[in-house]
Structure 1
Amino acid sequence: MREHRQAGSVEGTIVRRGDDGYEELRAAMVWNGLKPDRFPEVIVRAASARDVPAAVRLARSLGLRIAVRSAGHSWCGSPVRSDGMLLDLSGLRRYAIDPASATAFVEPAVTGRELAPALAEAGLAFPTGHCGTVALGGYLLGGGLGWNSGALGPACHSVEEIEAVTADGGTVRCNERENADLFWAARGAGPGFFAVVTGFRLRLHPAPGALAATMYAFPLADVEAACQWAGDVSHELEPTVELALTLATAAPFATDATPRPKVVTVSATAFAADEEHAAEALRPLGNCPFADGALQHRAPGPTSVAALDETADGLWPPRLRYAADTLWSDAEFTALLSRLGDAMREAPSDRSRVLAPFAPASHDGDLLRDMAFSVLGETYAVPYAIWDDPSGDEANLRWLREAMASVEPLGTGHYIAEADLTADPARAERSFRANDWDRLQGLRARYDPEGVFHTFLAA
């Protein structure tokens, strides 16, 4: 039976395994069409932040470990755990912007698509996720590699304070002066964080006056040349230009060929004060020595956050089946992507892709100070297996694992927010510097000695 009554002062909905509607709700807890084969004993959908301490007390009384969900965009479904409570925060969607102090208070289920336009009206910005439907809660806890992170740092750098409910059900404020250890962990611990964040205080930035973008698509056979050229150009670009390589199947509108060819795409987005500066920021990309060989080229031109969101919607449509993994590396992109290019040729789905952004987060020490998140390599790549037919699950998951195996020897770590944490028990540990991992374990023992909160999948 689905319960709307109070249980331990919970005002939201409580659904137990076996109740009517449980399976439908469990499936809805993950945005991915590929659902994990894991079954919480209880799902609590918080009606407000007031429900969170009550839910923690309820879990303790039932002897259940807690996993937390903001919007369910975890590729591997981290919040969905067996034998515990899934605490769903998707109803916590309030936000308030203070233009005078250039700060905002946001609850965890607020999405980038909701926040960014409201900030823009006030002449402000925040490095929200590249996919506008991603909620800020999990995104910020994982570090947050979003728009303009090369200049602004990971999004968690711009978190000034959090409100959190700890394992004893108490509510605390955390910043660099109060509960500083817990604040440090909240900026990067990801799904292994040992408390529930009910609100974030964000430091905002001046909104760019103009955005501009450009793109080249070349045959996949040219991957090494494209990597070399893009690498050379990257040294000429300002930190406010996002440069990325993508290995994928050509979009349907880009070619009449059947089957559609595999391509390597070089794309760039500039964030600037005005259109003139945006165009100037992209100027180094206008001198590609083998531009005549491009299968598609979009000349530098104005764009917008709304247009970027629309593009992301096309790349990551709902209801498809997804699996992803991440790799930091100190190898050059040429070595990294030549191996992943070989894997792309064998991808069983023409929806799958590999994304390799240059400098997805600044290496500036000031932008990485006092946080669990850390940049673990000079280069970074994310292979995505994307398909629609459940009968293709085995083949596509095997492809992802084999693609990752081909580059693992070049790896120096993983990005916790998008890593495949089901792959092996050491993957979570390899997402942090050794001393940061040890500090996280010590803080977990201090703040959650009874293990009220789930730790990382497979860890």
Structure 2
Amino acid sequence: MPETRIVRRGDSAYEAIRTEMVWNELTPQRFPEMIVRAESEQDVQEAVRLARSRGLRIAVRAGGHSWIGSPVRDGGMLIDLSALRQCVVAPETRTAAVQPGVTGGSLAAQLAPFGLAFPAGHCGSVGVSGYLLSGGLGWNSGAWGPGCASVRAIEAVTADGHGVRCSEHEHPDLFWAARGAGPGFFAVVTRFHLRLWELPGAIVQTAYTFPLDELPAVAAWTTEAAGRLPAGVEASFLLGAADPALSAAPYRPKVIKVTATAFAASHDEAVRSLEPLRTCPLADRALSRQIDEPVSYESLHTTSGTLWPEGRRCAVDTLWSDDGFDTLLRRLAPFVAEAPSEQSFVLAPFWPASRNRELWRDMAFSALGDTYVASFAIWTDPEDDALNIRWLRDTMGAVEPLGTGHYVGEADLTADPSRAERCYAPEDWRRLEELRARYDPEGVFHTYLAP
């Protein structure tokens, strides 16, 4: 491998490149001995062999959107896949072969001319690799399922430095693990083979914003109405600061926002699917209303990205639960009201796909509860790090007793030694550990980050 693709700790460029490995401005104080910037799939094989020869444990990075900077570990080798951005679309078979550095927004743009789509992540700048390996809770998952359900095969480099193809019929155990093992996956995926979906003919949104103290009534109404929405409607709660346009005062009041996005073949069908939310008994209390507004698939990625802007310090944690949103959000609302940063918020999406167990068939990833919440601490000043991380831990601690598990793609694995294990059903965790022992008996790959 050319030396120009290897950066060692102590090199003049090392620190700048190390900080590039994480999108989050909250760069972890962990230092790999070596960073390899792969430019081809052959580079990846050579990097794995080099690591083995020098006794270096391997971590892998593609898009860099891991909230906790999981790929950046002390010691060992970090393999950077961000330059692998090839995307080959086969519209006649509705498939695509995608390298790990491709982002969700880029993938959507390349598929749109063919009238095709993929359930990529909500934030368009997220790379497909970490998203798909973690399961992938993305757009229109109620109809399309988690992103990893549309992965038909992968190409990967295993701990011995050799390339393999994995699918339901080739190395099926490794394929099972690749769909959900997240940052603990014990191989390097160099290409994903994806099943594509027909681009919806229409996407329509309805949204209401209410004062935060209206939460009990809003949660009850929305939960009842959401139960009557078809699978092609994605609904969510957001608890946070009001949009600046809603307040003339310097202080942005805290609100609860209900948003529903309908994916359908036609505008009329999309509008009909939003009918349960059209008549709102609380409408006179709303601070704003947006009814049946058409949006594009590309704009969904762009708009969602504004929730997680570049150049911020971020921390997040998640929780699955079998308790209702009214219970969970009542516990979370006081913390939102007192958040030290007005950029922080709680997101609580309805995942209708969790009701359809067929969508989760034969993969490491699964929905571990009927409801799901994610708290995002977002701030700017490094002096406020401890304050905001404590807010996140206290906020999630309020609902942790009601939890049934976490989502590995956005869980704060540094919060508790058991966090990674609690991202899986017990039998799936045991299977992952057994497969790790089989495919990586020498521990070439780093396992899950822990406190």
Instruction: Check the 8 A contact 1:145/1:360 in 2, yes or no.
Output: no
Cα-Cα RMSD: 1.1
Structure 1 partner of 2:96: 104
Structure 1 partner of 2:211: 219
SS in 1 for 2:378: strand
Letter in 2 for 1:129: G
1:356-367 correspondence to structure 2 within 5 Å: 356-359=348-351, 361-367=353-359
Count of paired positions: 451
Distance (Å, rounded) in 1 between the aligned partners of 2:379 and 2:218: 27
SS in 1 for 2:355: coil
Q: TM-score, normalised by structure 2?
A: 0.98
User: In the alignment, which of 79, 100, 106 is matched to residue 114 of structure 1?
Assistant: 106
Structure 2 partner of 1:167: 159
1:55-454 correspondence to structure 2 within 5 Å: 55-359=47-351, 361-454=353-446
Q: TM-score, normalised by structure 1?
A: 0.97
SS in 2 for 1:33: coil
> What's the CA shift for 1:421?
0.7
SS in 2 for 1:20: coil
Instruction: Check the 8 A contact 2:349/2:373 in 1, yes or no.
Output: yes
Distance (Å, rounded) in 2 between the aligned partners of 1:41 and 1:265: 45
Distance (Å, rounded) in 2 between the aligned partners of 1:253 and 1:290: 21
Letter in 2 for 1:87: I
1:6 correspondence with 2:6: no
> What's the CA shift for 1:286?
1.1
Instruction: Check the 8 A contact 1:237/1:282 in 2, yes or no.
Output: yes
Structure 2: 5+ residue stretches without partners:
none
Letter in 1 for 2:208: Y
> What's the CA shift for 1:310?
2.5
Instruction: Check the 8 A contact 1:33/1:320 in 2, yes or no.
Output: yes
Note closer, same or farther for the CA distance 1:152–1:362 as it changes in structure 2 (3 Å cut).
farther
Letter in 2 for 1:6: P
Letter in 1 for 2:338: E
Letter in 2 for 1:430: R
Instruction: Check the 8 A contact 2:186/2:447 in 1, yes or no.
Output: yes
Distance (Å, rounded) in 2 between the aligned partners of 1:69 and 1:193: 12
Distance (Å, rounded) in 2 between the aligned partners of 1:384 and 1:198: 30
Distance (Å, rounded) in 2 between the aligned partners of 1:363 and 1:118: 31
> What's the CA shift for 1:291?
0.6
SS in 1 for 2:444: coil
Distance (Å, rounded) in 1 between the aligned partners of 2:352 and 2:424: 16
For residues 133-182 of structure 1, give each alpha carbon's deviation from its aligned partner in whole angstroms, at most 9, with x where no partner exists.
Answer: 10100000000000000111101000000000000001101000110000
Letter in 1 for 2:294: P
Structure 1: 5+ residue stretches without partners:
none
Instruction: Check the 8 A contact 1:174/1:180 in 2, yes or no.
Output: yes
For residues 208-260 of structure 1, give each alpha carbon's deviation from its aligned partner in whole angstroms, at most 9, with x where no partner exists.
Answer: 10100111110111111111111000111011000000000001122213421
1:44 correspondence with 2:36: yes
Distance (Å, rounded) in 2 between the aligned partners of 1:307 and 1:250: 21
Distance (Å, rounded) in 2 between the aligned partners of 1:310 and 1:200: 24
Distance (Å, rounded) in 1 between the aligned partners of 2:214 and 2:67: 30
Distance (Å, rounded) in 1 between the aligned partners of 2:173 and 2:28: 32
> What's the CA shift for 1:117?
2.0
Instruction: Check the 8 A contact 1:129/1:146 in 2, yes or no.
Output: yes
Letter in 2 for 1:229: W
Letter in 2 for 1:115: L
Distance (Å, rounded) in 1 between the aligned partners of 2:231 and 2:43: 42
Aligned residues with identical type, % of pairs: 59
Letter in 2 for 1:176: E
SS in 2 for 1:362: helix
> What's the CA shift for 1:360?
6.1
- List, as ranges, runs of 4+ consecutive aligned residues in structure 1 with deviation greater than 6 Å: none
Letter in 1 for 2:175: F
Distance (Å, rounded) in 2 between the aligned partners of 1:283 and 1:254: 26
Distance (Å, rounded) in 1 between the aligned partners of 2:218 and 2:224: 10
Instruction: Check the 8 A contact 2:96/2:196 in 1, yes or no.
Output: yes
